[in-house]
Amino acid sequence: MTPIANDAIIKALRAAAMDEHAAIIQYLRHAYMMGESELACEIEGVARDEMRHFWILSRWIVKLGGEPLTDRGFTDFGGATPPEWMERNVQAEDRAIAMYRELIGRANDPDLRADIAHVLADEERHRGQFVDFGVEAQAELAAATESTGAAPEAPIAVVDKEALDWGVQHEYAALLQYLMHSFLLHTQPNCEISDQLELQAINEMQHLGWLGEELAGHGIELPWTPHPVEVPSDAASMLESDIRLEQGTSAMYGQFLTQMTDPKLKGVVEDAHGQELYHESLFNRLLKRAPQKAAPEPGKTWTIGSLKQKETK
């Protein structure tokens, strides 16, 4: 592959990664707003596929010498009802299908082409799923209009809303941070740290769901802006940053728990808080086994780039 073609592929993969990130958020938002239902679970399943795609693309960006990113592409926040949301999801899949069909023709590397073909097949399946979900959502909407409807949720206290808002922004950041660290460390000789970070990223996505469903259940839009994400260059620095994140979160959740009023919402934050303490202890254990940080040469700045140079395809 010529350097120019390589640059063009990296650029296209970065745009695709931003769109995968957008798809994760668009679908999770819909699932949370639909509350606990079979359909919401299926939509969350599609969001998990998009998370896998984000991971695959980000790995390739790093392998080819590019900078991975946590920026989000166009996210469709429009539509007022589940059938309208599903229509917008069909459109998102159509955009992805068109993009991957174009990208597959530009990729010279057979392994990259195979990975893009795998992602493209998922998007084609998702499109069909969202068409079916739209029909189901339409039927559910019609049935709900005929029934008397469920009792609306009691208003949420300001302090409870503040805790959930903060939690959503934190969990979103933790999910991104652990995913980034996971794929950056994936080619290191010992994959345990990478695998654990990926597992805990999925756990943070569950927390996002617990908190997000409560906000959405009260008719409140989630704050879809993550807290800042740290991406240091080596395993030990990443784990140190992850430990700091967990410590800060435990302290914040602990503080919110002394002020929150609704027992159900408190229970949700308590559950997340307990798991954050586990994450902190797990990351501390992993840090003890992580490769020692290399002493930086005078004047040398450690960046993602320094890690990339050590990678092989």
Residue pair 233/306 in contact (Cβ under 8 Å)? The answer is yes
Q: Decide if residue 234 touches Fe ion (CB under 5 A).
A: no
Q: Decide if residue 242 touches Fe ion (CB under 5 A).
A: no
Residue pair 223/168 in contact (Cβ under 8 Å)? The answer is yes
Q: State the angle between helix axes of 3-33 and 82-106 in degrees (0 to 180), rounded to the nearest 10.
A: 170
Residue 142: how many CB atoms within 10 A of its CB? 10
- With CB under 5 A as the contact rule, the residue among 160, 204, 213, 234 that binds Fe ion is 204
Shortest gap between Cβ of 140 and Fe ion (angstroms)? 22
Q: Decide if residue 63 touches Fe ion (CB under 5 A).
A: no
Nearest to 282 by CA among 252, 249, 243, 237: 243
Shortest gap between Cβ of 205 and Fe ion (angstroms)? 9
Q: State the angle between helix axes of 235-259 and 158-184 in degrees (0 to 180), rounded to the nearest 10.
A: 170
Shortest gap between Cβ of 125 and Fe ion (angstroms)? 8
Q: Decide if residue 279 touches Fe ion (CB under 5 A).
A: yes
Phi and psi angles of residue 175, each rounded to the nearest 5 degrees, phi first: -55, -50
Residue pair 30/85 in contact (Cβ under 8 Å)? The answer is yes
Judge residue 236's burial from the number of C-beta atoms within 10 Å of its C-beta, 0-12 exposed, 13-18 middle, 19 or more buried.
Answer: middle
Shortest gap between Cβ of 64 and Fe ion (angstroms)? 19
Q: What span, in angstroms and rounded, lies between the C-alpha atoms of 172 and 177?
A: 9
Number of residues binding to Fe ion, judged by CB under 5 A: 10
Site stretch for Fe ion (CB under 5 A), options 26-34, 99-107, 152-160, 205-213: 205-213
- With CB under 5 A as the contact rule, the residue among 29, 53, 181, 308 that binds Fe ion is 53
Shortest gap between Cβ of 57 and Fe ion (angstroms)? 9
Site stretch for Fe ion (CB under 5 A), options 106-114, 121-129, 190-198, 299-307: 121-129
Q: Pick the closer one to Fe ion by CB: 50 or 76.
A: 50
Q: Which H/E stretch holds residue 246?
A: helix 235-259
Binders in 169-188 for Fe ion, by CB under 5 A: 171
Site stretch for Fe ion (CB under 5 A), options 29-37, 72-80, 124-132, 222-230: 124-132
Q: Pick the closer one to Fe ion by CB: 200 or 233.
A: 200
Q: Decide if residue 30 touches Fe ion (CB under 5 A).
A: no
Q: Decide if residue 19 touches Fe ion (CB under 5 A).
A: no
Shortest gap between Cβ of 279 and Fe ion (angstroms)? 4
Residue 205: how many CB atoms within 10 A of its CB? 22
Q: Pick the closer one to Fe ion by CB: 112 or 307.
A: 112
Per DSSP, the residues of 193-235 read: HHHHHHHHHHHHHHHHHHHHHHHHHTT------PPP----SSH
Site for Fe ion, rule CB under 5 A: 20, 50, 53, 123, 126, 171, 204, 207, 276, 279
